[in-house]
Chains A and B, each alone.
Chain A
Amino acid sequence: MTAQAPITVGIETGGGTWRFPADRPLRLDSGASLAPLEVAYKTYGKLNAEKTNAVLVCHALTGDQHVASNHPMTGKPGWWSLFVGPGLPLDTDRYFVIGTNVIGGCMGSTGPASIDPATGEAYGLKFPVITIADMVRAQAMLIEALGIETLFAAVGGSMGGMQVLQWAADYPGKLFSAVCIAAAARHSAQNIAFDEVGRQAVMADPNWCGGAYLKAGVRPEKGLAVARMAAHVTYLSEAALQRKFGRELRHDGLSWGFDADFQVESYLRHQGTSFVDRFDANSYLYITRALDYFDLAAAHGGVLAAAFVPARKVKFCVLSFSSDWLYPTVESRDIVRALNGAGCRASFAEIQTDKGHDAFFLDEPVLDQTLRGFLAAQAQARGLA
């Protein structure tokens, strides 16, 4: 096990890629295993002497370990830089924040674009299908490798929230508190349907080459861009789109053709094309598949509460957004009811906003206040300075 030399940029305090050698494979739910395994991560803040202040931030479908540092490809601020930093809700003066890239991802952790040791070529579709539990298992290996026995908190939105729930179910003894934002305990038919639209868009692109596009030296950019465009609509809300764009035109008058006449079209096209520069198409397939396979209750006899019974000592905070139609409030309520049923202490709030699902990384004062309050109270209970 070796870590790369830590690179420090901005508020980053470390990170790199942790390599687990072939004799420490990651066992997958499918029965397959991954070895050697690499887990890319970044850290912010300092781990205290007792190692009790570590916060794992779990990312969403297209997120990564660059939680609060500039993205190496786009140069944009980290996806949660509004919430992670000195004096922010995930206060790096107080907590040791860890961001990792999920396995199956394309930002340094082992994924379909990594080299398959069996062939010396990129895995492509030979990469095994992974699950949310597999992602969490890899994170647990990293946390252990970093010498951390118990996380002060696991925090995440969307797919990150699902990982948080999986952490509570699989590693309740390694978790002090858990924050699950805008997520669900399983993917609904609607969630699966949207993911399938995205996957079909990727696979319909001739440049996808049956998954072997890296070998062919091309990329299914058009398909991936369409997938992103469709998904992006689900992250917003009707009200937010209307507020932002309405029926505003890009130029005076209509073109009487199929150019992007409307601002909203141009915006979506931009979302699509900028996404393909930073994301791998096969990673998109694998991670959406992991999302679709997610059903926490299924592994516990169909009873979600049973998943949380071992986590009775974990303090939970579940948050939803009123305008989120991808993971609507009712999904979060189901989680909370299961937690109550299991006898866990849980907090739940539905935050009123018109920003839709994406509200979890936008400037949302009530979210800021709520996270701050919950974590500060838990920090006090944990005896953190």
Chain B
Amino acid sequence: MSGIREDFAEILKLVRPGARVLDVGCGEGELLELLTREKAVDGQGLEISPEGVTACLGRGLAVVQGDGDRDLDHFPTRAFDYAILSKTLQQMREPRHVLSELLRIAEQAVVSVPNFGHWKVRWALVSRGRMPETGALPEPWWSTPNIHLCTLRDFVGLCDALELRIDACASLAEGRPARPIDPRQPLENWRAETALFLLSRKAEPQPVMLQGGLFGE
């Protein structure tokens, strides 16, 4: 598995062969292509950029040009086995709604988020009093797409509030293999640069269908 992004390698391990997968913010489709090739998944991508969409189509992937904030509502309940949201939750206008939707649409969600509680982030704030620019958060505050940053503890708190179960969690750092962690461990909120979660619902989701219902009122 050399040459594969460490988060992709980790996701590849989590996904069942032949599963139905929705990749929200699928970019140019690298992950979906990998999953299709290695795990024979039935994949569907959602991507906002025209370049990404064209690239996905060229790879033979099913991709819808759309916005994770707006377009998840139209997928029926449990249409997928997995919904993947890789490092984009913090860019959503309504992360809480998106997370909740992911777990309505899919049995399980694979979500990765940069940890704003990482020691480098805290150090940048404490020592320089400036917004941090780190490997996981490389852009200055005025151009970053990240509008809803959270710490590992914040994210776990949101999962609890939404009654989500954390089935697995791993800490990711560039160039290093993923490390399984307990996200509730206070130390991990300092150590993990990015965390990858496998989530499911504690209770069955309400079968919210399309407006008007699939087969009429």
Known interface pairs A350-B65, A366-B54, A377-B59; A303-B74 also in contact (CB < 8 Å): no
Known interface pairs A343-B79, A349-B54, A366-B54; A301-B62 also in contact (CB < 8 Å): no
Chain A residues whose C-beta falls within 8 Å of the C-beta of B62 in the assembled complex? 315, 345-347
Whether A348 contacts B216 by the Cβ 8 Å rule is no
Chain A residues whose C-beta falls within 8 Å of the C-beta of B54 in the assembled complex? 349, 366, 369-370, 373
Known interface pairs A305-B214, A352-B50; A317-B57 also in contact (CB < 8 Å): yes
- Which of B57-111 touch A at CB < 8 Å? 57-66, 71, 74-76, 79
Whether B59 contacts A373 by the Cβ 8 Å rule is yes
Partner of B57, one of A306, A309, A377: A377
The CB with the most chain B CB atoms within 10 A, among A374, A376, A378, A380, is that of A374
Partner of B60, one of A301, A346, A377: A377
Interface size classification for chain A: 35 or more
Using a Cβ–Cβ cut-off of 8 Å, how many residues does chain B contribute to the interface with A? 28
Chain A residues whose C-beta falls within 8 Å of the C-beta of B59 in the assembled complex? 373, 377
Whether B212 contacts A303 by the Cβ 8 Å rule is yes
- Which of A342-360 touch B at CB < 8 Å? 342-343, 345-352
CA of A369 to CA of B64, assembled, Å: 16
Chain A residues whose C-beta falls within 8 Å of the C-beta of B76 in the assembled complex? 340-341, 343
The CB with the most chain A CB atoms within 10 A, among B59, B64, B215, is that of B64
- A142 at the A/B interface (Cβ < 8 Å)? no
The CB with the most chain B CB atoms within 10 A, among A317, A350, A377, A380, is that of A377
Q: What mask results when residues 286 to 314 of chain A are scored 1 for a CB within 8 Å of chain B, else 0?
A: 00000000000000011101100100000
Q: What mask results when residues 176 to 208 of chain B are scored 1 for a CB within 8 Å of chain A, else 0?
A: 000000000000000000000000000000000
Q: What mask results when residues 42 to 54 of chain B are scored 1 for a CB within 8 Å of chain A, else 0?
A: 1010000010011
- A/B interface sample: 13 pairs, CB < 8 A: A302-B216, A303-B210, A303-B212, A306-B214, A337-B74, A340-B75, A342-B214, A348-B53, A349-B50, A370-B54, A376-B60, A377-B57, A378-B60
